Amino acid sequence: MIEAPEDRLGGNEVTNHGSELATWENLCMSLRFSDVWHHEGFARERDSLLFTRSGRRIGGTNLSHIDRMYISDMLGDRGGSIGIMAGTCMSDHFLVVLVLAVGDRCFSQSLRIPQSVQIDESLAERVEEIWKLSQDSLGREPSVLQRASCISVPFSVESAAHTDSRDRA
């Protein structure tokens, strides 16, 4: 989603301001999600890349943060880290990487990468329902969002009964 004129430096002259941005913000508020960059418990790692949140110019280079990671307040309280992966081997731009800590807040400062994330099975259905309601209010077909693309988690998803053996110590 393009949020500022600087975000379209790749040649895309079409912005998503307007109904799409309003729908997205309403969806995030309904789910009680917010951009992880604003959560205090996350270390910000940049892999030696110049980077700004606001998209200001540094040394003649226009820097911006157009990719977002949204999490709930519950996950935000656990802490972790967010960073930018140097290189374009997986995509045509630098990837934003989110690491969620496991355990209590005091333990999460170690920023250990979790082996799994516990996730509510009904979350995908809830996101789909809120999206459909948002699209209905805009007078659009609600089938724009496919369930398969609704939620992606970059590591294994396990049931709530799973306990990581390293967390027992």
Q: What is the pLDDT of residue 18?
A: 54
Terminal C-alpha separation, the chain? 42
Q: Helix 19-31 and helix 123-137: axis angle, to 10°?
A: 140
pLDDT tens-digit readout, 14-32: 454 556 666 777 788 888 8
The single-letter code of the amino acid at 162 is H
Q: How confident is the model at residue 123 (pLDDT cuts 50, 70, 90)?
A: low
Bridge partner residues of 157 (DSSP): 117
Element (H, E) at 98: strand 95-100
Rounded Cα distance between 3 and 12, Å, is 12
Which residue in the block uniquely carries the two structure tokens 């996101």? Answer: 127
